[in-house]
Amino acid sequence: MVKFLKRAVRLVLLLALLGAAVLFYALKVEPYRLKIDHLTFSSGLTQELRVVQVSDIQISEHYTTRNLEQLVDRVNQQNPDLFLFTGDLYEVYNTYHQDEDLIRILSRIQAPYGKFAIWGNRDRGGGAVRTYESIMEQSGFQILCNEGVTVTLESGDTVFLAGLDDALLGEPNIDGVLADVPAQQPGYSILMTHEPDTADLYADLGFDLILAGHSHGGQVSLPFLPHITTSMARKYLDGLYPLNDQTTLYVHSGIGTSRYPIRLGVVPEIAVFDLKPAAE
């Protein structure tokens, strides 16, 4: 009996230590890791183009401008031609914000064909609506809100890039985007929408790639634990989803955290899309 009790105590202690180690990793290690996800797509372009996406930075006391400095360094190491941000700069602006530092750091991102952003729900809420647009514009970004732009490359090829307003707290209007579609077929087309589950609404409009965020990949991805899901990010959670023969959705797993400052099995990412000429 004594031997059994000793074994039971050891097992309990071992499980407690294991649980503490997992919790420490989820709170203090994984949220600050960073992986680079490379994806290659065929395009109608005659030159290669590298598009880099980041989403859901969620600046807060848990993910500060010091962490953002490291993120920007890694972004620039990818040598993006186009840089796209799919929303949620702050977690809750009214409780934590460092606008001047953000502008200085985000201005360092280098992308010769431009830096573009859309609104996320956190950019519309928590007081951020007063400053988000100004922060991004001072950082060299163009915000696309129910509109599109045609980006002309050195080769003369064009990329149509469009962005929608946030679906939860904004007023998305696809008609505004469609009004900007160029008469001449672009070599590639990208639509940005913050909430991934809205992608079904736009799947048949002829875009090559739809980019979204918002889900944080569930923040926790283990077989025995539930994902931390959120509204409009339950059907499409993380990664690549072919919507039809032409259009693919990519859901970015985000950088920061929301609600709970943990990540487990969902490492923050920089998504790198290499668009190759079809002939290759």
- Give the mean pLDDT of the chain: 94
pLDDT at 141: 99
Q: What is the pLDDT confidence band of residue 12, given thresholds at 50, 70 and 90?
A: confident
pLDDT tens digits for range 141-182 = 999 999 999 999 999 999 999 999 999 999 999 999 999 999
- DSSP-derived 3-state class of residue 220: strand
User: How would DSSP label each residue in 142-166?
Assistant: EE-SSEEEEEEPTTS-EEEEEE---
pLDDT in the model for residue 1: 67
Among the residue ranges 11-20, 88-97, 258-267, the one predicted with the least confidence is 11-20
- Going by C-alpha positions, the residue among 240, 239, 168 that lies closest to residue 198 is 168
- Percent of the chain past pLDDT 90, that is, above it, reads 84
Q: Is the pTM of this model over 0.85?
A: yes
pLDDT at 113: 99
Give the CA distances from residue 199 to residues 53, 61, 142, 167, 256, in Å, rounded to whole numbers and listed in that order: 17, 32, 22, 11, 22
Collapse the DSSP code of 121 into the 3-class scheme (helix H, G, I; strand E, B; otherwise coil) and give the result: helix
Q: What is the pLDDT of residues 243-270, one digit of tens each?
A: 999 999 999 999 999 989 999 999 999 9
Mean pLDDT for 178-190 is: 97
When pLDDT is cut at 50, 70 and 90, the band that residue 38 belongs to is: very high
Side-chain-side CA neighbours of residue 10 (13 Å): 6
Q: What is the DSSP pairing of strand 188-192 with strand 82-85?
A: unpaired
The confidence score (pLDDT) of residue 280 equals 57
What is the pLDDT, as a whole number, of residue 169? 97
